[in-house]
Amino acid sequence: MTTPKYVYVYANGHAEGRGDQKELLGGKGAGLAEMTNLGIPVPAGFTLTTEVCTYFNEHNKEYPPGLWEEVLDAMRQTEEAMGHRFGDPADPLLVSVRSGARVSMPGMMDTVLNLGLNDETVQGLIAKSGNERFGYDAYRRFITMYGDVVLGVPHSAFEEILDAKKEEVGVTLDTELSADDLKSLIAPYKALVLERTGKPFPEDPMEQLRGGINAVFDSWNVPRAITYRKLNNIPDHWGTAVNVVSMVYGNRGESSGTGVAFTRDPATGERIFFGEYLVDAQGEDVVAGIRTPLPIAELERQMPEIYRELVEIYQRLEAHYKDMQDMEFTVEEGKLYMLQTRTGKRTAQAAVRIAVEMVGEGLIDEATAVSRVEPAQLDQLLHPRIDTDQPVEVIAQGLPASPGAAVGEVVFTAESAIEEVAKGRQVILVRAETSPDDVGGMHVAEGILTARGGMTSHAAVVARGMGKCCVAGCSAITVDAEARQITVGDRVVREFDTLSLNGSTGEVILGAAKLIVPELSGDFNTLMGWADKIRTLKVRTNADTPEDAANAVAFGAEGIGLCRTEHMFFGEERLPVVQEMILAEDEAARRAALAKLLPFQRDDFLGLFRAMDGRPVTIRLLDPPLHEFLPSREGLIEEVATLRANGNNDGTLAEREALLAKVNHLHELNPMLGHRGCRLGISYPEIYEMQAEAIALAAATLAKEGKQIVPEIMVPLVGTVAEFRYLKERIVKVVEAVKARESVALDYLIGTMIEIPRAALTADRIAEEAQFFSCGTNDLTQMTFGYSRDDAGVFLPDYVEKKILPVDPFQVLDRDGVGQLVRMAVEKGRATRPELKVGICGEHGGEPSSIEFCHQVGLDYVSCSPFRVPIARLAAAQAVLADRG
């Protein structure tokens, strides 16, 4: 049996791994291996695979047999390549230990730099470098990072000691501390570790290495990483690789530096070299936002040769990967090293622009461009922006870290953001700088504002990935989290004051700016056009008003898949008439009230038909129980009791008592399974008859104008073919009467929703009568699982947390259960009626994974809310591309 290989080395221009092995080596490890094989300067090192992480987590933090021997052999090869020996007091090799999942999870897992330092090896580092200050700076950084990441001593505890030293010697910046100042930090740092852990700081480099590797594997399951995976649908079982890389130093003086760069602007997609760097710094200084870095263009002035080499490398990498790259680099005393290349995270705006422009540049084809943009990302393009025609009060200017706009009340911690959003507030999260622990608060906030950090800081990278508006590095503001206030000059902004952020300009605005909905054109329309050529699924919208319908058409909707007629009954002029109909004592009185509603309904449908301009419109007949149109039972009981107590005798009491009696008569213990949908239509067929007449009259009006519309009349909640047949006969009779009376030719379809499991099980019988099916997966999920949609929110998060369910089935279609009923409905229905049109109109119609399933089972269309139509169009195209492989 072949012994598994767990460690892959890259050294001396040769790597054992490849760039297409992200699942095994993680994104970082695969990138380092590929760059090594391309001849790009990379410090030697090795990668422990994601399989080790899986084993580690499944075997009580034990390594697989033989792993450590592979690590030692890999370390030997790394030593030979670098010309230094790990743990050598005279000439030590130092390493970094970094995470690297198969997809980017910026800042979510742990890193340890300068590993291998102790009281002896630091002297060798000083002797070889000839720079005592550099040696002790590296040593104190290592103790801080290792103490925090591996030993659990909070970073802030080390910072307190550092701040006290700076105050003692009268300096502000770390870089102003002398070698002696830095050396004097070592003893108190170690004392802190002993005090907090009960054990001395480890001096053995091999013990340090094992501890660092363990900590990075452990960090796969820290809360912030778990939260990030949930937010980004990253499976828990993927695990992370660990990369052990020879240290190179950007903090060795003015000829050294470190930076982060992108081959295109990750916010806008513009084809420019984009990034930031710091002179005399390590990588953590850039991404942590501790110092505000310089734009990459400045590097050309400061280090022209390095800049030219970096430009050549980035152009090679983008041409090789045929995608925008996110790179990390270090310059050590005039020599450039690449520490990372990976597919760069980008905003939706950038993703669309990059995909379209790369087709124009001949790098990729149209199908690849369509596959490059995540459908859910398109939400970012549909968010409001600040109306620049309206006056605003700009109180500060920061960096435009993530585009868009946001308005909200100021909060100062991630916990406060989560708490206040749960209460219904919209918030702006304000931090001096964000850390990975803030990711939950960032997710719920409307926008993020930081005082420190650059365009590649944690706040910027995470906000862009989430599609959140972010203004970073706003040095004009002073954040006092304890006092819960921001100071801008002589102005104070307190907790719950309102701010607006313009993530496209970096402006911080006092008060609530006016937001406007963006128009989609240019690159977006080009990409959507390519997607439309590929997809086979039609995309309709759920719309109840002409305004919603017009918005959906602008976003590319090809029809209405669900018009909920009950929403039309709540208008100010209509509700009293609806209540009159409900309170009627006999059919004649009900028909009299319905006759008053008929013109309203006719005009409603006419407006929708005009907005859709010949596109198909599916109209669901009245679905909810009648009590929803009456005052609440509890409110009426209280009102009647008050009137009785006050001795009311002007007739109001009798009127409210009669209304209460009707509400009591209609009251149901389980209304979602009660007298609603087709059951209501069977008890009171005159209601559906009025609606059918209104639909036919609206269609007849258009027919007389020479316009064609084929209305699709949909009967809800059908469970038996007899229910459907009973109502269909009456609908046909009404529509045919209108056609004769109006002297028009009119085509129409009558179909049903598949939202009760029995309907799916007997779809072959129902298809004998129904001309189309629309799968109402909201109710179908509810009835298949036996979960109340209104109450499941209490326990479903717990189910997902405890892995009882992989996801909330009301958000992502349950393929194994609900999906099989949908498949059954399609197959059985078309066995009876081959031309049967089948769609889906639940919330799943706008969710990419669910859309892929709809494509796989052969649905004709999906229907979703207007603002999700572009998402559905793109997801439908990607479902076709997934089939092609």
- Active site positions, annotated: 458, 841
Going from the C-alpha of 120 to that of each of 95, 117, 125, 127, 139, the distances in angstroms are 16, 8, 9, 11, 11
Is 214:221 a contact under the CB 8 Å cutoff? no
Is 441:470 a contact under the CB 8 Å cutoff? no
Q: Which of 283, 262, 334, 281 is nearest to 305 (CA)?
A: 334
Distance CA 414, CA 438 (A): 5
Tokens of 833: 């009626």
Q: Is the dihedral of CA 844, 848, 849, 854 positive or negative?
A: positive
155-169 vs 132-149: helix crossing angle, rounded to 10? 150
Q: Tell me whether residue 55 is exposed, middle or buried, using C-beta atoms within 10 angstroms of its C-beta: 0 to 12, 13 to 18, 19 or more.
A: buried
Distance CA 873, CA 869 (A): 6
**How does strand 538-542 pair with strand 861-864?**
parallel
Is 228:439 a contact under the CB 8 Å cutoff? yes
Give the helix/strand (H/E) hosting 642. helix 633-645
- DSSP reduced 3-state for 330: strand
Distance CA 661, CA 633 (A): 10
Distance CA 253, CA 302 (A): 13
Q: Which of 131, 134, 164, 159 is nearest to 145 (CA)?
A: 159
Tokens of 592: 């009299």
Distance CA 490, CA 477 (A): 10
Q: Please give the biggest Cα pair distance in the chain.
A: 103
> Phi, psi (5° rounding) for residue 500?
-120, 145
Distance CA 341, CA 38 (A): 12
- DSSP reduced 3-state for 465: helix
Is 730:689 a contact under the CB 8 Å cutoff? yes
b (16+ CB within 10 A) / e for 263-294:
bbbbbbbebebbbbbbbbbbbebbbbbbbbbb
> Phi, psi (5° rounding) for residue 801?
-60, -40
Is 480:418 a contact under the CB 8 Å cutoff? no
- DSSP reduced 3-state for 715: strand
